[in-house]
Amino acid sequence: MTREKPKNLWLSRWGFILAATGSAVGLGNIWKFPYITGEYGGGAFVLMYLACILAIGIPVMMTEIAIGRRGRGSPIDAIGRVVRESSGNPLWKAVGGMAMLAGFMILCFYVVVAGWAFAYTWKMLDGSLAATSVDTLGQVFSQHNANPWQLGGWSVLVSLLTLAIVAKGVQQGIENAVRWMMPGLAVMLLVLVGYAFTSGGFSAGFDFLFSFDASKITGEALLAALGHAFFTLSLASGAILTYGSYIPDGQSIARTTFVVALCDTSVALLAGLAIFPIIFANGMSPGAGPGLIFMSLPLAFQQMPFGTAFGVLFFAMVSIAALTSAISMIEATVAYLNEKHGISRMKSAVLAGGVLLVISLLAMLSFNLMAGWTPLGKNLFDWLDYLTSRWMMPLGGIFLVCLAGYALRDEIMRDELGLPPLGYALWLFMVRYVSPVLIMVVFLHALGWLGFDPVTEWYWIVGAIGLLTVLGEVLRPRVLPVLAGR
């Protein structure tokens, strides 16, 4: 099969690294990682999280990048081309469609959450967050969400900024934007870590983040680490696969993936070093949950010297992180409309943006005017979150590794990854046997269907991997043609 010629390419290897890191570094790193680390005991959770990045994150990300570069297109087109090269069943393209849809659906409620960060940057400036208790700040947060004009206005701003960048294209829009946004985010984060160093709680924060306590390793903590490792890298949402299609031939996918994973993890750890010392210095709980940065931290900033300035800096950093992730989530849809249907980049962005604005505004109304509308017990915001995080992304991840490990011709991934024999064998073992089992464990746990504790009853996971390995090696010659559709 003749390789598809790339229509767009990153100007440099660092263009992809910054864009992919921007996709991965979002509210998950700066908002979610600190509070779940606090909830699950600090250092023990961090160690489990790093192990899960190696076991799931890196192999699956390598897979997405390789398929994207081989297929040179949106998730649907890229998967369709590599499957056609393997003489496989075109129905595999549905995996790309599900990933692309999942990314767009996530964006529809993500812009609302990103709007909180933008709004809090302004609230920190105008003094709206001046308070004496977490309860008072909780009321500020509730009042913000109860006002549809205020909440909707910030959501629309995030949407318009995202679309303006994506409409300019891969090089002039996305790469130019992340070229200053990501270094800017890194500088702001380092300044905040330096500020935290002088807060009086740095030693306590550092110990909490990196001290290992084996008693904190629980099944619930391990499953949280597995889930966060998968979702933090924007896997199975179409973003990494689309970004991978813009990588020039000859660049090492393995090396690039490790750099992105390292940057993403470093940002998460630095966010912890910036947040926990301030929390401890002010006698607050690190396990404050989702309200950690929107309720506990603003109060801490108000009580510290130059706290307002550093509070503005902090929420500006969160806003940039949210924006870089939002860009990646809509790029797959815009690329599909542009490449598959021949619609100009600008019109594709406007079309996708119109649908985004309608659905995101309806999701925003879930906090106020439509708060009473809860079909099957969930409002629209919660349904978008539930369907994507609990169903579409885990299933998409399983299908992607099965596609790469079983359905595609071996020489395709071997050629695209360019790994030495031992490295390729390790990657193949992970995507065929380890990653599918671990993602399935996360999937079943998220739905409440997991019937065992993965720490005390770890032998179930080991047994499943062993059984899948044996069955895979024995039955693969017969099963592989069926999976591939040949």
The answer as to whether 413 is a domain residue is no
pLDDT confidence of residue 110: 93
pLDDT confidence of residue 165: 95
pLDDT confidence of residue 301: 86
The answer as to whether 3 is a domain residue is no
Query: In this predicted model, what pLDDT tens digit does every residue of 396-448 receive, in sequence order?
Result: 999 999 999 988 988 999 999 999 999 999 999 999 999 999 999 989 988 88
Query: In this predicted model, what pLDDT tens digit does every residue of 221-257 receive, in sequence order?
Result: 888 888 888 888 889 999 999 999 999 988 999 999 9
pLDDT confidence of residue 478: 64
The answer as to whether 455 is a domain residue is no
Query: In this predicted model, what pLDDT tens digit does every residue of 323-348 receive, in sequence order?
Result: 999 999 999 999 999 988 889 999 99
Q: How many domains does the chain have?
A: 1
Q: Is the pLDDT of residue 2 over 70?
A: no
Q: Is the pLDDT of residue 1 over 80?
A: no
The answer as to whether 137 is a domain residue is yes
pLDDT confidence of residue 234: 87
Query: In this predicted model, what pLDDT tens digit does every residue of 255-303 receive, in sequence order?
Result: 999 999 999 999 989 988 998 898 888 887 777 666 678 888 888 888 7
The answer as to whether 402 is a domain residue is no
* pLDDT tier for residue 477 given thresholds of 50, 70 and 90: low
Residue range(s) defining the domain that contains residue 91: 13-387
Task: Report residue 364 as tokens.
Answer: 């925003």
Q: Is the pLDDT of residue 28 over 70?
A: yes
Q: Residue 228 is part of a domain; what is its CATH number?
A: 1.10.4160.10
The secondary structure element, H or E, covering residue 385 is helix 380-386
- Among 369, 363, 365, 367, residue whose Cα is nearest residue 381: 363
The answer as to whether 353 is a domain residue is yes
pTM score, whole prediction: 0.92
The answer as to whether 392 is a domain residue is no
The answer as to whether 124 is a domain residue is yes
